[in-house]
Amino acid sequence: MTAGPVLRLEGLTTSISVGGEVRHLVQDVTLDIEPGEKVGFVGESGSGKSITMLSIMGLLPPNVAVTSGSAVVAGVELAGLAERDYQRIRGSRLAMVYQDPMSALNPVMRIGAQIAEGLRAHGAEGPQADETVRRVLGDVGIPDPQRIAKSYPHQLSGGMRQRVMIAMALAMEPELIIFDEPTTALDVTIQAQILTLVRELHAAKNTAIVWVTHDLALVSNLVDRIVVMYGGRIVEQGPVVDVLTSPRHRYTAALLSAFPERHSQVRDRLAQIPGGPPSLDDVQTGCPFRTRCVHAIESCDAMPAVEAGEPSHSYSCWVPIKVAS
Amino acid sequence: MTAAVSVRELSRTFRRGRRSAAVQALRGVSLSIEPGETLGVVGESGCGKSTLARLIARLDEPTTGTIEILGDDVTHMHGQELRQLRRSVQMVFQDPYASLNPRRRVGTAVEEVLKVHKLADSPAGRAERVDELLGLVGLDPGLASRYPTELSGGQRQRVGIARALAIEPSIVIFDESVSSLDVSVQAEIINLMVALREQLDLTYVFISHDLGVVRHIADRIAVMYVGTIQELGTWTQVSDDPVHPYTRALLDAVPHMRLDDQAGPQETPVLGEIPNPADPPTGCAFHPRCPHATALCSEERPALRAVADRLVACHLAAEFVEQ
């Protein structure tokens, strides 16, 4: 295994070109993910969290492209990488589990054949591939791997299909697996089972994990570090409990207070964030949250620098919340 | 006092052709809702919560059982009578993108309701009422000339609420109405719902898979599983002190914010899969996943009985309360 981070993003900027005009979907994203680390990417619709992941996977739609910065996985620069070379990395070093397994799986292909297809593309021989298929299906807690390998996706429940997706991601033992809202479409008791499975797999294999979600509570039970995105930028990141108990960025704090309190005996009005998230037509300089932020000052028209608070806790805000010392 | 909604032994079976098994979406549900009350209904896929909502709104007809709205039996109403009923019961759906016509301006969409129900007779009167309704749900009347695609998700859901309120119903059913919204927008819609309930004296049925949201808005909560009610009690009883093993499993599965480094992650609450409503388990629907299940649980379906000041459908409920 290569030394150093499994993923290094430096100033990653991904843009869309609409009618000759270039608009940024993700701006200046910089971060490292160390081997075996579990990182949660949190943000609302349009925050850029999924586009960041698709940029890393090299799966951006035709009119969207990485326009500056770099993404390095296991020592290989991904920005500008030829599709042929990308295919060698996808699956073997880097894998992704999507929100909706029904649209990610081929409906007319048996489960076993779909997993084996990827293995063969990366050079596995027949019997060896079949053996791996049975092993990984067992690893993800599928009761009868022999039978499930012969099933079609529609014959499985949503939870089972998501287990199959995870098995597929694990098949080639990548260094990093990206989970993009993998439990959003599942019922809450099934979501809890998938969460436990991923936690157990991580304990056994120590694969680095990126978990993308809009659910702060969910991800707090899985990851070590949280990255909060808003309007295409990372606004705050740090250890889970630090970020959740003493957020420094005004957006993180506003988001936390908008959640219905799950233990309170009084039911006050929920805290609202005025206005809506920025759209592509908005001016893309300065802090993306400033138009909705009740604490915004003149300086907020320029993008604030990244401040390091506590060790490994950083944020970009001109008027951060002060920490009681 | 006459109940706003009263349903008794309500069942709904869907048949899809002769060869496939019938789906028993609802299997004998009884409950009543007092005027001004908010009943929350929670449950996972296939529990029958949306079927129950559609039956109360009489968008669907039950296979067996009765539905009374404000004291009137509406179980098999049709035609003109049913149209009259719509004036009392309105529904707000999950997806404001799908429930608004994309080619119709917001003002027209609200005005349409007034026309259909022949409320406000002159165009000027309708225009005035549209402004009033948009104001009521916190929208700038200037938005009346916009198309749904020009609005944010939250604004669109406000239009959905304005349309439901246009005919001054006394009962509003929300079916997953905040589920597709971002947290910051969800908060503002929930606040609006609470404010309108006080202002207009409304009775709500609030259907959701999200116990955190239901807990915030409901007076009483019904927990459903595979077409039946498992537990029905006040919001604090059900969400803080549940008796039924399924309610407990559901609560344990809801992720809690981890605010302490020492606290380990939540444990897996319950194993197994949600049963297929076309082939529900015998006895208690939850018995195959229940850690406490006995032989009786697989043989006899438990009735919804009063235990610890609420209703619970569990053979072992009394034992759980004693512990």
Selecting from A216, A221, A258 the residue whose C-beta is nearest the C-beta of B187 gives: A258
Complete edge-to-edge strand list for the sheet that includes strand B89-92: B89-92, B171-175, B203-208, B38-42, B220-225, B228-234, B310-312, B305-307
Residue A155 sits at the chain B interface (C-beta within 8 Å): no
Q: Is residue B140 part of a domain?
A: no
Rounded-to-integer distance, Cα B209 and Cα B218, Å: 13
Interface touch B45/A187, C-beta < 8 Å = yes
Selecting from B260, B265, B270 the residue whose C-beta is nearest the C-beta of A189 gives: B270
Interface of B to A at Cβ within 8 Å reads 44-45, 152-154, 182-188, 190-191, 194, 209, 211-213, 215-217, 236, 240, 249-250, 252-261, 265-271, 273-274
Q: Nearest chain B residue to A216 by CA: give it.
A: B257
Q: Is residue B276 part of a domain?
A: yes
Q: Is residue B146 part of a domain?
A: no
Interface touch A187/B265, C-beta < 8 Å = no
Selecting from B209, B256, B273 the residue whose C-beta is nearest the C-beta of A188 gives: B209
Q: Are strands A314-315 and B89-92 parallel, antiparallel or unpaired?
A: unpaired
Residue A59: exposure state from Cβ atoms within 10 A (0-12, 13-18, ≥19): exposed
Count of residues making up chain A: 325
Q: Is residue B54 part of a domain?
A: yes
Per-residue pLDDT at A1: 47
Per-residue pLDDT at A314: 94
Per-residue pLDDT at A310: 72
Give pLDDT < 50 ranges for chain B. none
Interface touch B258/A240, C-beta < 8 Å = yes
As a whole number, mean pLDDT of residues A51-63 equals 94
**What is the pLDDT confidence band of residue A324, given thresholds at 50, 70 and 90?**
low
Interface touch A192/B269, C-beta < 8 Å = yes
> Which chain A residues are within 8 Å of B271, Cβ to Cβ?
193
Per-residue pLDDT at A224: 93
Q: Which one-letter DSSP state was computed for residue A296?
A: -
User: What ipTM was assigned to the predicted interfaces of this complex?
Assistant: 0.87
Q: Is residue B153 part of a domain?
A: no
Task: Give this prediction's pTM.
Answer: 0.90
Interface touch B182/A277, C-beta < 8 Å = yes
> Which chain A residues are within 8 Å of B94, Cβ to Cβ?
none
* Angstroms from B91 CA to nearest CA on chain A: 23
Q: Is residue B130 part of a domain?
A: no
Interface touch A187/B266, C-beta < 8 Å = no
Residue B211 lies in domain: 5-88+169-255+271-322
Substitution target in A243, A272, A273 with the highest count of B β-carbons within 10 Å is A272
Residue A254 sits at the chain B interface (C-beta within 8 Å): yes
CATH number, domain at B304?
3.40.50.300
pLDDT tens per residue across span B85-98? 999 999 998 877 78
pLDDT tens per residue across span A90-139? 989 999 999 888 888 999 999 999 999 999 998 888 889 999 999 999 99
Residue B119: exposure state from Cβ atoms within 10 A (0-12, 13-18, ≥19): middle
Q: Nearest chain A residue to B249 by CA: give it.
A: A189
Q: Is the pLDDT of residue A258 over 90?
A: no
Interface touch A262/B212, C-beta < 8 Å = yes
Q: Nearest chain A residue to B252 by CA: give it.
A: A189
Q: Nearest chain B residue to A266 by CA: give it.
A: B216
Give the count of alpha carbons within 13 A of A237, CB side only. Answer: 20
Helix or strand (DSSP H, E) at B26: strand B23-33
> Which chain B residues are within 8 Å of A260, Cβ to Cβ?
187, 190, 212-213, 215-216
Give the count of alpha carbons within 13 A of A226, CB side only. Answer: 32
In total, how many domains does chain B have?
1
Residue B164: exposure state from Cβ atoms within 10 A (0-12, 13-18, ≥19): buried
Helix or strand (DSSP H, E) at B220: strand B220-225
> Which chain B residues are within 8 Å of A215, Cβ to Cβ?
255
Interface touch B257/A220, C-beta < 8 Å = yes
Q: Hey, what are B306's tokens? A: 């009063």
Selecting from B183, B252, B258 the residue whose C-beta is nearest the C-beta of A214 gives: B183
Between chain A and chain B, how many beta carbons pairs sit less than 8 Å apart? 122
Burial of B214-239, coded b for 16+ CB within 10 Å and e otherwise, reads bbbbbebbbbbbbbbbbbbbebebbb
Residue B55 near residue B7, CB atoms below 8 Å:
yes
Surface of A (89-148) touching B: CB under 8 A: none
Q: Is the pLDDT of residue A174 over 70?
A: yes
Residue A295 sits at the chain B interface (C-beta within 8 Å): no
pLDDT tens per residue across span B184-229? 889 999 999 999 999 999 999 999 998 889 999 999 999 999 999 9
Looking at chain A, the whole-number percentage of residues with pLDDT higher than 90 is: 73
Q: Is residue B160 part of a domain?
A: no
pLDDT tens per residue across span A177-194? 999 999 988 899 999 999
Residue A268 sits at the chain B interface (C-beta within 8 Å): no
Interface touch A44/B253, C-beta < 8 Å = no
Selecting from B182, B253, B271 the residue whose C-beta is nearest the C-beta of A188 gives: B253
Substitution target in A262, A265, A269, A279 with the highest count of B β-carbons within 10 Å is A262
How many of the other CB atoms lie within 10 Å of CB of B267? 8
* Angstroms from B3 CA to nearest CA on chain A: 25
Q: Which one-letter DSSP state was computed for residue B281?
A: P
Residue A189 near residue A145, CB atoms below 8 Å:
no
* Angstroms from B80 CA to nearest CA on chain A: 39
Interface touch B187/A217, C-beta < 8 Å = no
Q: Is residue B98 part of a domain?
A: no
> Which chain A residues are within 8 Å of B185, Cβ to Cβ?
276
> Which chain A residues are within 8 Å of B186, Cβ to Cβ?
258
